[in-house]
Amino acid sequence: MKLSTRARYGTRAMLDLAQHYGEEVIPLKDIARRQQISLPYLEHLVGPLVDARLIQSVRGARGGLKLAKSPESIRLSEVVSLLEGSIEPVDCVHSPDKCHRSRFCATRDIWDDVGKAMTSVLEQTTLADLVAKQRAKMSPEAEMYYI
């Protein structure tokens, strides 16, 4: 199962905002440049995040975006569900009427477990966790080779 670019790019944009949490607003073009996401596509992704009050948008010459809540209080499950919708691997997990085999299908149980595992990881991970992971990957020690 693959998440769409909406979820992947939206999560990267949210990570970028979390890395700059507490600063002034961040111009969308700066996020697009740093995250290597096309500006028009990123503009399209921001709407649902603003509507859900995860980020604030400030208009004007010195406008931009900032997180509306602390990185510790934003879970990846919120971001992904807003941008992706349901992440269930198959429709029959939550809509058994979509398949006449649902009651007797062992594979449906596996798809249910997969969906629960994905949801659990996303629910347990905050933007603050993602910032910490990003910092660890960018630290000089991460590039150090030992003999």
pTM of the model: 0.85
Q: How many domains does the chain have?
A: 1
Find the domain containing 123 and state its range. Answer: 5-143
Q: Mean pLDDT across the chain, nearest whole number?
A: 90
pLDDT attached to residue 106: 87
Query: Tell me, what CATH number does 135's domain have?
Result: 1.10.10.10
pLDDT single digits (tens) 87-146: 888 777 777 777 778 778 888 888 889 989 999 999 999 999 999 999 998 877 655 555
Q: Find the mean pLDDT for residues 51-65.
A: 92
Report the greatest alpha carbon distance in the chain: 60
Burial 51-83 (b: 16+ CB within 10 A, else e): eeebbeeeeeeeebbbbbeebeebbbbbbbbbb
Going through 4-140 in order, the beta strands assigned E by DSSP cover 55-58, 64-67
CA separation for the pair 13, 17 (Å, rounded): 6
